[in-house]
Amino acid sequence: MHWPEYGIEAVLLGTFMVSACTFTTLINHPAGPVHSRLASAMARRALIGVAMGLTAITLIYSPWGQRSGAHMNPSTTLTFWLLGKVAAHDALSYAIAQFIGAAAGVALARLALGKWLQHASVNHVVTTPGPRGPIAAWAAEALIACGMMSMVLFCSNHLELAPFTGLIAGLLVAVYITVEAPLSGMSMNPARTFGSAMVARRWNAYWVYVTAPLCGMLTAAALYTSLPGTNVYCAKLQHPHSESCIFRCERDRLVSAMSANPATLRSETTR
C-alpha cells in the first residue's frame, strides 16, 4: 500500500478544487472585482481557464505531483489500470482519495468563501448540462476526455515530448473551460463533479460526468494502443528520473537507450 501517494492525490485534487472555487468566485460573482469590468461571459471563462490551466500545470510539476503521477481523476487512473500500468489496489485507493480530496476541497472553499461561493453565479462550481441538454453534455465530455488522454498517452510515452505533457494538459484545460464549458460545465472528471455536487447537494445528470469521461479516455487508450509501434511506459504525467515509481514502470529502458545513443532513442520511441 502506497499511502503517501494516495494522500498526495487527495491533496492535489483538493487544491485544484479550492483554486477553482476561488477564481470562479473572484471572476464570476457580480460583486467581485472582475464581473463589472468584463461583461463578456466568454472572456470571463477565458480568465478562469487560464487560472485553472496554470493551477493544473503547477500541481503536475510540483514535487508531490511528480511523485503520485498527478492523475487527479479516477477516469485517468482507471484507464492506466486497464492499460496494465497501475495495480488494482493502487487504482482503487487513488480513486477513493480523489473523491475525498475533491469533496474536501469544495467544503474548505465554502468555509472560506461562505455565501459568495453559494451565489447562483458560482454555485460551488457545480458542473451541469447546458441548454442543449445531457446528451450534448455527454458527447462534449467524452470528446474532451478523449482529447486529453490522447495527448497524455502520445506525449508522455515519447521522451522528447514527455517534459511538455503537463504544459499541454494545462493549455487544454484552459481551452476546454473557455470553449466547452457552456455545454457541460467542463468537468472531464467524476470526482471533480462529485465534490461540487456533494457540497451543493445538486446532482443534476451526474451520470453524464461518471460515464462520459471514462468512455472518452478508454476510447483514446484503444485508439492509441491500436497504432503500430506504440507502447505505454508509465502512468505518470510527469516522470522525473530521480523519483521512485509505484507503477509498473518501464521508463528506465528508454532512459538507458537515450543515454547510450540518441539514435536508439528515436527507434525505441516508435517500437
Global pTM value: 0.92
Q: Residue 252: what pLDDT?
A: 76
Grid coordinates standing for 213? 469521461
**Cβ count within 10 A of residue 263:** 9
In the DSSP assignment, the letter for residue 2 is -
Please classify residue 223 by burial: count the beta carbons closer than 10 Å to its beta carbon, then call 0-12 exposed, 13-18 middle and 19+ buried.
Answer: middle
CB 25 within 8 A of CB 113: yes
Structural domains for the chain: 3-268 (1.20.1080.10)
Cell of 103: 469533496
List per-residue pLDDT tens for the chain, 271 residues long. Answer: 799 999 999 999 999 999 999 999 999 999 999 998 999 999 999 999 999 999 999 999 999 999 999 999 999 999 999 999 999 999 999 999 999 999 999 999 999 999 999 999 999 999 999 999 999 999 999 999 999 999 999 999 988 899 999 999 999 999 999 999 999 999 999 999 999 999 999 999 999 999 999 999 999 999 999 999 888 999 999 888 766 799 998 887 666 655 555 544 444 444 4
Closest CA to 79 of 255, 219, 179, 228: 219
What's the pLDDT at 264? 45
CA gap 208, 223 in Å, rounded: 22
Calculate the alpha carbon distances from 139 to 35, 60, 215 in Å: 30, 27, 10
What was the pLDDT predicted at 255?
65
